[in-house]
Structure 1
Amino acid sequence: MTAPVTFILGMHNSGTSLLARLAALLGLELGPEVLTRDSFEAKPAYDYWEHAGIVELQDEALHLLNRHWSTPQSHLPIPQDAWDGPEITRIAGALGAILDRELTAAVGKPWGFKDPRTVRLLPLWRRLLARRGLAARYLISLRDPAIVTASFADKGRVTPADAEALWRRSYLEALSYSEGAPRLVVDYDAWLDQPERQAAALAAFLGQPQAADDALAAVRDAIDPSLRRTRASQLRLAPFTVATAECLRAMIGGREPAARIAALLDRAAATDRRSAA
């Protein structure tokens, strides 16, 4: 039986790179095309651990959908009929070819990938998996939305309001599309505050509980506590953003507060309906 495809989700700058590295150490195959610092002439501060081919295609898809992360439209809903457009269908075919190739190369081992762009394209991925009879599981990396909003607005050259709206959209869609599947919310700050507990939860989720100590050692090598950024408390977040973050924090470690999640998603759907009216 083929192992579930593992999606590593989260807003840009939310710790997905660290989570992907740890998942790989715990036995998740990321394939040979991952982007590290050595993939770039101007080396970034850290390895991205993203699949180069998937990133390129997903970036193109978001441009075609007019929802690229660098634009003010990044957080708007994507119309249902957009997934059937000829260019998106072409990209879906190319992503499906990568999926088939990577699963074959993984030789029965669990395979997955990380790309913050993925969360907005999950309807497309769900189709690809359904056609192949494949299951999914989800790792969701959470970080303080005030810090992420401030850093992404600076890095992405978008307004803080747009960055916050994309943060909220990313996690609401992650919650919606992963509903009913195995999922684990992982807190970036907990790698500093409660690393042993979180490493154990991640290792258990990936079916490697005996490897928790290896993950913990990797965290300690990767994170310098002296570089921890102060919380961006000067940035006032919208109440809906705060409610989304609080719901996700209640899920850390594998908890599933069903009524709270349902209420949050109902609120999101109602907000979209009002915006469309």
Structure 2
Amino acid sequence: MMDKRAIFVLGMHRSGTSALTGMLSKLGVAMPARLLDVAPDNPKGFFESAAVITLSDEILASGGSYWFDWRPFAPNPDLTPIFEAKIAHLLKSEFGDAKLIGIKDPRLCRMAPLWLSAAQKAGYEPLVVIPYRHPYGTMQSLHKRSGLSMSKCKLLWLRHTLDAEFASRNYPRAFVFMPDLLNDWNTVAERISKRLGDLPLSSNPEIDSFLDKDMQHHVQDDGADETLDEWTKDVLSALKGLDRDEDVKANQARLDIIRVKLDESSRLFGVAMAEADTETQNLANHVHHLQDELKRESAKIVEGMVLAENQVQAVQQALDSLVSGQSDQTLRQVEGFVSVTADIRSIGEALTGHTDHFAAVRSEAQKMHASVEEAFTRQADNFTQVKSEIDVIRASLGDVITSQVEARERYTNSMEWAKFETQAIRQALGDILSGQAQADERQTAGLNGFTEALAAFRNDFRVSVERQTALNAEREVWLHHQQVLAQNTRHLYESYQAELSSLKTLLQDSTVERRDLQHRIETLQADIQTAQQNLSTYRQSGPLAYMIWALMRGRRP
């Protein structure tokens, strides 16, 4: 056993991976040094490393894939040594010398063989935990968060689940059904520790407050199973069987059949859907670019309007100050004029009583009147200057107002252009979504056709199995007959061998007898020939000789 161990949490997006990994962290499993920040859709944390996500996206991109791709993924073999070195460096930088670490990223499901092998080469014993929940709740949650269609979410669930299960068969692993974790995390933690080799997990009372049923963002309703297709139902059933260690080989065989069919479907429809995903992503990027540009232009316009308003306020304040100051000066001059007038009146009254001094006073009054007229002249000049300054200010204010009006017009034109672009983008998005919907319909039709063909195949397979069973029974009868026939044949062969041996013996005896008979025949033939010769001789010798010969032979003459 290796000194260091790495727990890989291999689960589909929105399937409870964050809750499970968070529990493991509170039980003493070391987490990465650089974790993602919390988000509204995951307020208690993702427990994912930003570096792991970045490297996972890089690996996927090297094979022409992305996180929401449902096609099977195989990394470029030429780049495998490079990625293994990067994974080893990442494990060192994120976890240091920790003996028990936890790694979680749903993307790892599709590239698990690479990560598990690289971790093993880096000195870690790979351990696997596969969390799962009802697929309908997972699909709903992902649909709400990422805006993907339910059909696409189903394909992603199948791909991530099937790949994670297949890649982890040769490693210590545990399955975790999320409702079980939320209801009784102590029992689940003990089962994980036991199945992964008695892990040194320490208890933590904070887990009770950390895990709550609100973490399961979408819960399936009672009729959720009715919305699932046969593949999804079979995969969920097989996972539950593996979780309970029931019919492991049979359940793995069921998953293998569905994975092969999913791969075949991806070869038929995956490229077309990937092209649609690329077009949608490009359009979404263009929309984000336009939105950013619109925000920048709007900020510039607002900044210009604020600057113009500040300038107007400054000019207005300056104008108010100028008018206020000029009014005070005029008021003082008027008061001085009133004082001078009062002096003139007093002088006039004095002139009535002092005729002698009239000329002198008159002269003084003329001087004072000249001073007053000079003061009024200066005041008039001041008013003229103030009026000029006010005209300049009004002209400047007019320019500012004109600039502000032009800025408002540019802003209005920009908003109209943005609305037009947004409308065009929405129309294009509608066309793409319509095309995506049509593609989904075609894919659904293809899947339905494939399902019907599969049902027909299953029926044919059942009939074939029944025929094979009947043939097997007939074969058993035929084998029995063959055994009986072979036994009878063996007995006959043995009897034939015995008879053949007897025949050979008889043949040998008959051959001896035949030789004796042949010898006797040859002797008789010689005797006959001799007798014939004697007969001929006796006949030629006369009747008496013949009669003597006949009597000797026992014959009548």
Same fold (TM over 0.5): yes
Name the SS for the 1:93 alignment partner. helix
Q: Answer 1 or 2: which has greater strand percent.
A: 1
Label 1:190 to 1:2 Cα distance change in 2 as closer, same or farther (>3 A). same
Gaps of 5+ in 2: 269-557
Query: CA separation in 2, counterparts of 1:14 and 1:274?
Result: 24
Question: Does 2:77 match 1:84?
Answer: yes
Query: CA separation in 2, counterparts of 1:181 and 1:193?
Result: 27
Query: CA separation in 1, counterparts of 2:246 and 2:201?
Result: 21
Question: Letter of the aligned partner of 1:84 in structure 2?
Answer: P
Q: Determine the structure 2 residue equivalent to 1:96.
A: 88
Gaps of 5+ in 1: none
The 8 Å contact of residues 191 and 219 in structure 1, kept in 2 or not, is answered as no
Q: Determine the structure 2 residue equivalent to 1:165.
A: 155
The 8 Å contact of residues 19 and 215 in structure 2, kept in 1 or not, is answered as no
Question: Does 2:180 match 1:190?
Answer: yes
Q: CA deviation at 1:114?
A: 0.8
Cα deviation 1:172-223 (Å, max 9, x = unaligned) = 1111100121100011111234444223213434534774x53xx4442123
The 8 Å contact of residues 67 and 75 in structure 1, kept in 2 or not, is answered as no
Q: Determine the structure 2 residue equivalent to 1:236.
A: 227
Q: CA deviation at 1:117?
A: 1.0
Q: CA deviation at 1:253?
A: 5.9
Paired residues for 1:264-275 under 5 Å:
264-273=255-264, 275=266
Name the SS for the 1:123 alignment partner. helix
The 8 Å contact of residues 15 and 188 in structure 1, kept in 2 or not, is answered as yes
Cα deviation 1:8-48 (Å, max 9, x = unaligned) = 110111111111111122222123222242xx7x7942201
Query: CA separation in 2, counterparts of 1:171 and 1:27?
Result: 27
Q: Determine the structure 2 residue equivalent to 1:75.
A: 70
Query: CA separation in 2, counterparts of 1:158 and 1:248?
Result: 25
Which among 206, 209, 214 is matched to residue 221 of structure 1? 209
Question: Letter of the aligned partner of 2:71 in structure 1?
Answer: L
Q: Determine the structure 1 residue equivalent to 2:192.
A: 202
What is the Cα-based RMSD across aligned positions, in Å? Answer: 2.9
Q: Which moves more between the two structures, 44-53 or 113-122?
A: 44-53
Paired residues for 1:16-27 under 5 Å:
16-27=17-28
Structure number with higher relative contact order (C-alpha < 8 Å, ≥ 6 residues apart): 1
Q: Determine the structure 2 residue equivalent to 1:65.
A: 63
The structure whose Rg is larger is 2
Q: CA deviation at 1:99?
A: 2.1
Label 1:18 to 1:151 Cα distance change in 2 as closer, same or farther (>3 A). same
Q: Determine the structure 2 residue equivalent to 1:48.
A: 46
Question: Letter of the aligned partner of 2:50 in structure 1?
Answer: A
Q: Answer 1 or 2: which has greater helix percent.
A: 2
The 8 Å contact of residues 26 and 208 in structure 1, kept in 2 or not, is answered as no
Name the SS for the 1:105 alignment partner. coil
Which among 123, 136, 140 is matched to residue 113 of structure 2? 123
Count of aligned pairs between the two proteins: 263
Query: CA separation in 1, counterparts of 2:235 and 2:206?
Result: 29
The 8 Å contact of residues 19 and 211 in structure 2, kept in 1 or not, is answered as no
Query: CA separation in 2, counterparts of 1:96 and 1:256?
Result: 37
Q: Determine the structure 1 residue equivalent to 2:527.
A: none
Give % identity.
24
Label 1:97 to 1:176 Cα distance change in 2 as closer, same or farther (>3 A). same
